[in-house]
A and B are shown apart, each in its own frame.
Chain A
Amino acid sequence: MDSGIITALVTLSAIGAVAAVVLYFIAQKFKVIEDPRIDDVTDALPGANCGGCGYAGCRAFAEAMVKEGTMEGFFCPVGGNDLMKSLSPLLGVEAVEKKPQIAVLRCNGSVKNSPAKYNYDGPKNCTFTHTLSSGEGGCMFGCLGGGECVDACDFDAMYMDPETGLPVVKDNCVACNACVLACPRDLLELRNRGPKDKRIFVACMNQEKGGPAKKNCSVACIGCAACFKVCPHDAITMNNNLAYIDYEKCTLCRKCVEVCPTDAIHEINFKPRPPKAEVTKGDEPKKAPVKKAVVVEEGAAPAPRPAKEPRAESTEVAIEKPKATSTTSEKKEENKSENQNNNQ
């Protein structure tokens, strides 16, 4: 009995010892030398694995950054500039500042603006309806309203507006690019957040000539180039009957918005303009260059911005101002704010 126990003990210990030695050598032999910084950086990243940086996940992003030894061309849209700055001591390189961005929908073909030309019966899915025909509104470039972008959003920053049938980007968008990739018609674009989340863009992607474009949608860009002519900063380019505003050059002067005959250019989070003093107002941002303003104001707060403050401000004014003065621009004003709400 006793000897049995002893034999067992000895055998087991021997097996254990041999296994330990073997394991040790194997571990030595197949050791993967990994930069410890990869783990550190991965831990610092948000861990959302959204793919917004262009890599498969947070760890892949960290690996690539450590391997390259630079932060140039690397940016985590979720963490923003704050995070990138905090990573710079870990990596020992300078962080590259990037302006915070937000996705915008470049279409305003709501149910009202672009009424249905036929009765679609089938699954509401953009990928499918895109191959089936031009789309219910008849526009070959417009939003199909299937909500694939909303499904792609990991940050609850989008929803479908049941009234317009269009997706809406909320202010907590982190610009991860998922919706941009999801849209089969390439309607979503990441644009710089202006000061106080102000942004101006052409809410249309229709490349047809004015006539056919207008036939399908009352707020289509008809390629009249009025905005192109009026822009003092050469920020607007015309291509295939479609205006495009370069957000790097745009100073948010709002001149283009005024001249657009179809209200295809949207301004968001602006104070409704006072009726007469437009010109001076419009010039203001020119004096204070936007880039600087962005860095100063936005650079410190890249995380989801509190959406309420600027909104509340703008709506308050919106209620007051038009009442004070009743000019012809009042109707346009209302239209605008409606469009803003539709599209924002």
Chain B
Amino acid sequence: MSLLVVSGSPHVHGDLTTKKIMWGVVYAMIPALLVSFYFFGMGAVKVVLVSVVASLFFEWVITKYLLKQKPQITDGSALITGILLAFNVPSNLPVWIIIVGALVAIGIGKMSFGGLGKNPFNPALVGRVFLLISFPVQMTSWPTPIPMFKAPMLDAITGPTPLGVVKEGLRNGESMESVMSQVPDYVNLLLGYNAGSLGEVSALALLLGGLYMLFRKIITWHVPMSYMATVLIFSGILWLVDPNAYVNPLFHLVTGGMMLGIFYMATDMVTSPMTPVGQIIFGVGVGLLTIIIRVWAAYPEGVSFAILIMNAAVPLLNKIKPKRFGEVVKA
């Protein structure tokens, strides 16, 4: 008889694996991915493909030759980084810039800290912010979406994002009404018929994926809910104070990378706090920072910066301990 196996208890394991979690996130991104293909056509396909392939390649090369470990690119984490990075860039970005972005995201954002699970900052956002600061022109010339089958493939016309329109308009002293008349209506904002990074345009598709992740228990409600509530309340207060100077809260919610940030970036397990209370504080912090940047700072969009700043605060938030057994007051 072969020798019996002996190990410490427990002897059974639930069927949850890292791979399942990561692929669950990938499935959740499919609606937004399809919407981007629909509106941005081959440009979007190209950007996503290049970003994914480059991310996987850098992950594989770095784990194998620099860290000298067994590469585990099939676990899906580099795939997520690749797709998220693609979601965060315009669809007409030159290929070489995407590759640089993937290198920064995987190499500096993730691997320099030791690989999966050890990075303090969301790798895709590190890559995105690096590109935004290094190549501001290419990164902010957004092509206007041309729905598939509607128009022939022309040279894409570029235009500002709705948030950019508003910021620019308000800065130039235009009235809120005239500014708002220049941006697409809410139906188009929800569906994605507006200019922007390829993954962020359709709030509805992103919401769908987010609900799927909540349903599969890949993410918990704490971060998205507190983030969303903070954005609505904070921008709502500003709007109530002066509706002519500040945009209404719903507009904030459905434009730009807000939905992408709420469901896919801020909820990243590795870079968000471990306890429910910490997660709520994290969400509130990201929400406040996003609106502050959007309203008062130079950039029209603040989701990436807000999340990265709060990522840095995560070790501090992890000092908040969960509710311990025996500390609950007698009922």
Contact = CB atoms under 8 A, between A and B. Distances in A.
Interface of A: 116-122, 128, 132-133
Given A116-B3, A128-B8, 5 more contacts: A117-B3, A119-B5, A119-B6, A121-B6, A133-B6
A121 B5 CA distance: 7
Contacts of A128: 8
7 contacts: A118-B6, A119-B2, A119-B5, A120-B7, A121-B5, A132-B6, A133-B6
Contacts of A121: 5-7
Please name the 5 residue pairs, one residue from A and one from B, whose CB atoms are nearest each other, closest first.
Answer: A121-B7, A122-B7, A119-B3, A118-B6, A119-B5
Contacts of B2: 119
The listed residue with most A CB atoms (<10 A of its CB), out of B2, B6, B7, B8, is B6
A99 B6 CA distance: 44
B4 interface: yes
- Give the interface SS of chain B, mostly helix, strand, loop or mixed: loop
Contacts of A133: 6
Contacts, number: 23
Contacts of B3: 116-119
A128 B6 CA distance: 13
A167 B2 CA distance: 27
Give chain B's interface residue range (CB within 8 Å of chain A).
under 10
A311 B5 CA distance: 41
A122 B8 contact: yes
Contacts of A117: 3
Nearest to B5: A119
Contacts of B7: 120-122
A35 to B, nearest CB: 42
Contacts of A118: 3-6
A208 to B, nearest CB: 21
A133 B3 CA distance: 15
B6 to A, nearest CB: 5
A33 to B, nearest CB: 41
A132 B8 contact: yes
A120 B3 CA distance: 9
Contacts of A122: 7-8
B7 to A, nearest CB: 4
B239 to A, nearest CB: 51
A41 B60 CA distance: 55
A119 B8 CA distance: 12
A270 to B, nearest CB: 38
B3 to A, nearest CB: 4
A108 B98 CA distance: 60
A128 B7 CA distance: 10
Contacts of B5: 118-121
Contacts of B8: 122, 128, 132
Nearest to B6: A118
Nearest to A133: B6
B56 to A, nearest CB: 31
Nearest to A136: B6
A117 B5 CA distance: 10
Interface string B1-32: 01111111000000000000000000000000
